[in-house]
């Protein structure tokens, strides 16, 4: 059976500054680089992968780099696992959003909410994720790590849990990894959260 691992990228400059990065190409912080390396090293001691996929945004690519080195794998860019497009709200701080009356502050009702000026609703994210999942082999011995983003992981969890259009409201921590034995789209999956390096400290403070 194919084993999938999904990881949220390590701390980015946008995370540190409380900015909605969206698809703006913020890099990792110095701490984020250290965390990515530590997580990759600990992951390598316990798990094996033979494919490595990452969003094309720098924060995901930089998180993938130490995994690529340790497992001697190329990084396959995958646009379909990039972060939500937030239109006019991309690049704003959370404090600035308090003054945006048309921003949907309620996470529970974003399924069909399309951010102004080119944004994506949650349903639109799922539309680009579903073909990605459909292309994954169910059988075989592949072990695939996919490095992606917070909102995208929220939709990934809903697809894997087979709950759409209901989706989780919480987000994954930076560096959090989910492990899934993939049975194919349309099946409910057990999703196991794994924490390595500094991500273990984050969950203990939550």
pLDDT tens digits, 65-88: 999 999 999 999 999 999 999 999
| Stretch 43-52: mean pLDDT | 96
CB 126 within 8 A of CB 156: no
| Mean predicted confidence (pLDDT) in 179-190 | 94
Q: Cα dist. 196→31, 41, 163, 174, 193 in Å?
A: 14, 9, 28, 11, 10
pLDDT digits (tens, 9 = 90+) for 140-155: 789 999 999 999 999 9
What range defines the domain where residue 115 resides?
Answer: 3-205
- Per-residue pLDDT at 61 exceeds 50: yes
* Stated pTM of the model: 0.94
> With pLDDT > 70 as the criterion, what percentage of the chain qualifies?
96
Work out the average pLDDT over 17-36: 97
What pLDDT, on a 0 to 100 scale, did the predictor assign at position 204?
32
CB 32 within 8 A of CB 196: no
Q: Is the pLDDT of residue 198 over 70?
A: no
pLDDT at position 52 is 98
pLDDT in tens, 91-118: 999 999 998 999 999 999 999 999 999 9
Number of domains in the chain: 1
Mean pLDDT computed over 171-175: 95
What distance in Å separates the CA atoms of residue 172 and residue 154, rounded to the nearest whole number? 8
**pLDDT tens string 132-143:** 999 997 777 899
The residues that bridge with 12 in the sheet, in sequence order, are 28
Where residue 206 falls among pLDDT bands split at 50, 70, 90? very low
Q: Which residue has the tokens 């921590």?
A: 173
In this structure, what CATH number is given to the domain that contains residue 111?
Answer: 3.40.50.1240
């Amino acid at each position: 059976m194919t084993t999938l691992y999904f990881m949220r990228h390590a701390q980015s400059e946008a995370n540190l500054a409380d900015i909605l990065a969206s698809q703006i190409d913020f890099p990792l912080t110095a701490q984020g680089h250290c965390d990515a390396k530590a997580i990759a090293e600990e992951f390598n001691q316990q798990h094996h992968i033979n494919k490595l996929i990452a969003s094309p945004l720098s924060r995901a690519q930089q998180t993938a780099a130490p995994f690529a080195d340790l497992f001697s794998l190329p990084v396959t860019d995958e646009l379909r696992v990039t972060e939500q497009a937030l239109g006019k709200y991309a690049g704003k701080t959370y404090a600035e959003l308090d003054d945006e009356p048309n921003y949907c502050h309620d996470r529970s009702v974003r399924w069909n909410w399309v951010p102004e000026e080119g944004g994506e609703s949650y349903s639109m994210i799922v539309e680009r994720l579903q073909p990605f999942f459909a292309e994954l082999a169910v059988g075989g011995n592949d072990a695939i790590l996919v490095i992606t983003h917070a909102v995208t992981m929220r939709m990934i969890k809903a697809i894997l849990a087979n709950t759409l259009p209901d989706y989780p409201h919480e987000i994954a921590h930076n560096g959090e990894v989910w492990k899934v034995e993939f049975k194919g789209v349309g099946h409910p999956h057990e999703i196991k959260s794994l924490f390595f390096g500094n991500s273990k400290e984050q969950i203990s403070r939550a």
